[in-house]
């Protein structure tokens, strides 16, 4: 089995895979050795793979390496091709999503849209080349910005049962965020399809469920890319 650790700025996540089968997943309480060892099975772990955007204290890393085979995911692990895009400017999180598209849509052009704090668009060609993408504010960033940068507009709880046009202030704000983002998504898809008519589109990320009635959603997509970037999987 392989234990994957995704150490982000806001959340520390883990997933346990037996081959391609997810056995367990969840949140790590904090970046401490007891919290990490608590989620490691007592036996059967052949590899502990870590993707991190934060510094791991040296004592924690040393202890893990003393007891397990540890692989730190790096950009050099990618199978993606680059010709016009500068890979040094591409975040590891987006590389992992693009890798996942190579797994889910082999030999097909794909657009992965990740709805998190920001929304990222990641376009991959039939040949597995990272063509380009975009970054825009996420749903909650949009809602929060309208409240914080105006005097009268409230901060609302976003509703998934949205319509393009609201009938009061709150539903107008909801429409602007949720429907407006949907129009944005459809615009990027339409633009990509001009170059790749048989484009495959997939959504992931914490806010992807707002659009589960419109698009294919894969909450495990990042883990699939993670698996592609570690040895012997």
Residue in 98, 88, 174 with CA at minimum distance from that of residue 130:
98
Angle at 7 between CA 6 and CA 12, to 5 degrees: 90
Contact 161/180 with Cβ under 8 angstroms? Answer: no
Output the known binding site for ATP: 6-13, 117
How is residue 12 written in tokens?
A: 């520390």
Torsion sign across C-alpha atoms 22, 23, 25, 30: negative
Q: Which residues are annotated as a binding site?
A: 6-13, 91-94, 117, 169
Q: Which residue of the set 24, 86, 93, 218 is catalytic?
A: 93
- Please report, in range form, the residues annotated as the binding site for substrate: 91-94, 169
């997939």: which residue's tokens? 202
**Is residue 30 flagged as an active site residue?**
no
Say which residues have a Cβ less than 8 Å from residue 17's Cβ, sequence separation at least 6: 1, 2, 3, 4, 23, 223, 227
Q: Return the active site residues.
A: 93
């Amino acid at each position: 089995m392989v234990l994957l650790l995704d150490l982000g700025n806001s959340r520390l996540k883990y997933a346990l895979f037996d081959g391609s089968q997810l056995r367990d997943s969840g949140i790590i309480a904090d970046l401490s050795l007891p919290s990490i060892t608590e989620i490691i099975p007592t036996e059967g772990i052949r590899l502990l793979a870590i993707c991190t955007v934060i510094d791991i204290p040296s004592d924690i890393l040393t202890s893990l390496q003393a007891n397990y085979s540890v692989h730190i995911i790096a950009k050099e692990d990618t199978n993606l091709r680059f010709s016009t895009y500068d890979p040094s400017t591409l975040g590891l999180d987006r590389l992992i999503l693009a890798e996942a598209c190579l797994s889910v849509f082999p030999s097909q052009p794909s657009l992965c849209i990740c709805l998190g704090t920001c929304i990222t668009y990641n376009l991959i060609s039939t040949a597995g080349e990272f063509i380009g993408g975009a970054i825009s504010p996420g749903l909650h960033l949009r809602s929060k910005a309208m409240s914080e940068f105006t005097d009268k507009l409230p901060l609302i709880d976003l509703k998934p049962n949205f319509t393009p046009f609201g009938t009061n202030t709150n539903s107008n704000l909801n429409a602007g965020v949720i429907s407006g983002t949907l129009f944005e998504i459809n615009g990027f898809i339409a633009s990509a399809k001009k170059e790749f008519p048989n484009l495959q589109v997939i959504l992931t990320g914490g806010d992807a469920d707002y659009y589960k009635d419109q698009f294919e959603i894969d909450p495990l997509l990042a883990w699939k890319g993670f698996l592609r970037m570690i040895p012997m999987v």
